[in-house]
Structure 1
Amino acid sequence: MIFSIFCSTLLADTKVLSDTSMQFEPIFSSDKILDRFTKTQNEQSYENYKELIVRYAKQNNLNAMLLAAIIKVESNFDKKAVSATNAIGLMQIKLDQSVSDVYKNIFGRIDLPPIEQLLDPQFNISIGSAYLNLISTKYFKDIKNPQTKEYCIIAAYNAGAGEVLRTFSSNKIEAQTIINNQMPDEVLANLKTKLMNEQGRRYIQKVLDAKNELETKNSTRSPNRDSFIFVNPLNR
């Protein structure tokens, strides 16, 4: 995966995509297969980071189990995970210009965060969850169905928002119109078979499986499931 999106800030009102082309790419690592990680010996789990996941899911209007599932697929909850391409931490964030844009938006700073800071679970999740929110509210703001939007956001975290839209049309507006005219299952099938990024095609199902597994486990552990699951996924 290519990690250069654009050089303007993430919340600037500049037009990232023209009607005929899409230039932005994912800001996080494409090297997300778990067997490529450099891992610690300590086993980690959702419970280790539940409080942070719930906090930043709520702050960014995300489904907490979706955020947890992405972390599981990215790093298997290993806060020290580093990929072969130096993607770092729980959400496998890679330092580049686009991370600088996120950093500036969140913290009002123009420099890049130090690598050591990306190994901090709270900071790492704050960056990754803010990016997921940005995908939802800016790149895919015109996608109407919440389930459809969730599928697109999962794919975009790995393959990039531009790549997701190009799966349906080279024109940004037309792509979202096509997506809105399809049922969620049809959109999912198209992403899993037509997305140009092969790893992205596999990634979608990995995250969905992880989300289902986490929901099943946590529904049996807590009688008050809604206390940590936000049921309005990624749709303001």
Structure 2
Amino acid sequence: MLRNRVLKKAVIASMLLSAPSVAQQSKFDAYKEKHKERYERFANDYSQRYEAFKEKLIEKWGVAELSSTTEYVAYSNDNNIKVIADFEKDTIEVSIRDDEFDTLDEQEKNDQVKAALESTLKLSASEAKEVNPEFVILDGNSAKKAHIPTLKNNKSAAPTLLNALGIKSDADLAKSIVAAKAIPVEKQAALVTQRTKARLEKQIKEVEQFASREDVPKQTKEQATKTVATLTTQLNEVSEAKVDATAKNTRSYKIQLQRARYEKAAEFLNAVSQQASRWQVAEDTLLAVMETESHFNPLAKSHIPAYGLMQIVPATAGADVNKQVFSSDKKPTPEELYDSERNIEYGSAYFNILMTRYLKEVENPTSRLYCAIAAYNTGIGNLSKAFNNGKHGRMAAIEKINQMTPEQVMQVIKSKTHTETQRYLDKVLGSKAYFSQHI
């Protein structure tokens, strides 16, 4: 009895010694509160600056056309010039707001279009990100900078966005400008309204589908719900009348780029080849995922948020790669993921994780590929539920997959996953078949 009382006192004493004092706990709580307040101030400042930027665009153009997974949108410093590079449709649109534009001769108009393209697209992806307010706002590290550099004197040896669009020289640029087609003013408002609504509707579907994933952290899901509400409000506010009111002194030109489909991947073939070999993923598979995710737009971004060529989500795929491959508990930053080679590394590594870890027990290689492609889009949890009648359980799902033919596996994915995932699988497989014949 005496011995037990002594041991009990010793344990209690040890607990008291190891526990933080009231003063220490108070300091720790104060530190946490200060850190929380600092984060909230930054988040509020970030939100306010982003909203202010959009309001300026709405005031000038009627709607705020912003970058997406397949489009890079840039404005001049005074917002009087808008350039939209559409990597999916392979077009460049230049809109210039200038009361005196119609008084210029043809060469002077071409010179203005050339200047607009050079100031916004004759930059590397990293340079463009640094000077585009939309990306400076979205990047926490860059957002702290007091000064945003102008678009001038930002030339480097790195491939430019014009290069990524297949325009390799001044002669190519001049040829493209001469071939540009003027967009009738009376049609422009309807075109802008239609594509803005389509862009927002697509973004809403993407975020809703992402929020349904099993592997998405709770905090990220909550943010996704808020994002859907914001995008829905923006969609409801898009009005052709608002756009039309700003179009009277605007002249727009569209350049249709004449590239073969495989040429869009040209800038990234070396990086894809290296990472395909390193992570044992077929080159045509990586190119197919890349084309489906971004159509080779190096500054692709979504409201999920996902970044770069292979649309890496820091909280899911990015965190998984860092933990399982690079032994790090940190999430990759947007800065890292906008580096094209780094992005391809993350996307390749994540596809390898899907194939060799989460789906390694799937016996048929074709079935495993189908499942990996679907999981890249919807997550391994949602994929498992599709084979488990809505229930959790990776191994239970794999047992059922191993009793099926690849065609039956395909049929389950095409009937029991999210609609976006069904379309995603079709797109990737179609793209894979194309690139297998052209690379």
TM-score (norm 1): 0.71
Asked if structure 2 preserves the Cα contact closer than 8 Å seen for 1:57 and 1:63, the reply is yes
Residues 1:120 and 2:342 are matched in the alignment: no
Residues 1:204 and 2:425 are matched in the alignment: yes
Corresponding residue number in structure 1 for 2:413? 191
Corresponding residue number in structure 2 for 1:174? 396
Asked if structure 2 preserves the Cα contact closer than 8 Å seen for 1:4 and 1:97, the reply is no
List gaps (5 residues or longer) in structure 2.
Answer: 1-209, 218-223, 225-255
Q: 1:50 aligns with which of 269, 272, 275?
A: 269
Asked if structure 1 preserves the Cα contact closer than 8 Å seen for 2:215 and 2:381, the reply is no
Spell out the pairing of 1:1-236 with structure 2 (5 A cutoff): 1-2=210-211, 5=215, 45-96=264-315, 99-169=318-388, 170=391, 171-195=393-417, 197-218=418-439
1:112 deviation in Å? Answer: 3.0
Asked if structure 1 preserves the Cα contact closer than 8 Å seen for 2:275 and 2:345, the reply is yes
**Greater shift in the superposed pair: 63-72 or 102-111:** 102-111
- 1:174 to 1:64, Cα distance in 2 relative to 1, 3 A: same
Deviations 1:156-199 (A, max 9, x none): 0001111112111133322111111111111111111111x221
Question: Quick check: which one's strand share is greater?
Answer: 2
- Work out the number of aligned pairs and report it: 185
Corresponding residue number in structure 2 for 1:222? none
List gaps (5 residues or longer) in structure 1.
Answer: 8-28, 30-40, 219-236
Asked if structure 2 preserves the Cα contact closer than 8 Å seen for 1:4 and 1:98, the reply is no
Q: Give me the whole-angstrom Cα distance separating, in 2, the residues matched to 1:57 and 1:119.
A: 19
1:104 deviation in Å? Answer: 4.0
Deviations 1:14-65 (A, max 9, x none): xxxxxxxxxxxxxxx9xxxxxxxxxxx9987222111111111111111110
Q: Give me the whole-angstrom Cα distance separating, in 2, the residues matched to 1:64 and 1:140.
A: 20
1:155 deviation in Å? Answer: 0.2
Q: Give me the whole-angstrom Cα distance separating, in 1, the residues matched to 2:370 and 2:424.
A: 11
1:114 deviation in Å? Answer: 2.6
Q: Give me the whole-angstrom Cα distance separating, in 2, the residues matched to 1:217 and 1:161.
A: 31
- 1:193 to 1:4, Cα distance in 2 relative to 1, 3 A: closer
1:98 deviation in Å? Answer: 5.5
Deviations 1:182-225 (A, max 9, x none): 11111111111111x2211110001011111112223xxxxxxx
Q: Give me the whole-angstrom Cα distance separating, in 2, the residues matched to 1:83 and 1:6.
A: 16
- 1:176 to 1:106, Cα distance in 2 relative to 1, 3 A: closer
Corresponding residue number in structure 1 for 2:5? none
Asked if structure 2 preserves the Cα contact closer than 8 Å seen for 1:103 and 1:109, the reply is yes
What is the RMSD computed on CA atoms of the aligned residues? Answer: 2.4
Q: Give me the whole-angstrom Cα distance separating, in 2, the residues matched to 1:89 and 1:191.
A: 26
Q: Give me the whole-angstrom Cα distance separating, in 1, the residues matched to 2:328 and 2:396.
A: 35
- 1:165 to 1:101, Cα distance in 2 relative to 1, 3 A: closer
- Which portions of structure 1, spanning 4 or more consecutive aligned residues, are displaced by more than 4 angstroms? 41-44
TM-score (norm 2): 0.39
Q: Give me the whole-angstrom Cα distance separating, in 2, the residues matched to 1:72 and 1:46.
A: 8
Asked if structure 1 preserves the Cα contact closer than 8 Å seen for 2:366 and 2:406, the reply is yes
Q: Which has the larger radius of gyration?
A: 2
- SS of the aligned residue for 2:314 comes to coil
- 1:62 to 1:4, Cα distance in 2 relative to 1, 3 A: same
Q: Give me the whole-angstrom Cα distance separating, in 1, the residues matched to 2:294 and 2:317.
A: 21
**Percentage identity across aligned positions?**
31
Asked if structure 2 preserves the Cα contact closer than 8 Å seen for 1:6 and 1:98, the reply is no
Q: Give me the whole-angstrom Cα distance separating, in 1, the residues matched to 2:383 and 2:330.
A: 29
1:142 deviation in Å? Answer: 0.7
Asked if structure 1 preserves the Cα contact closer than 8 Å seen for 2:351 and 2:376, the reply is yes
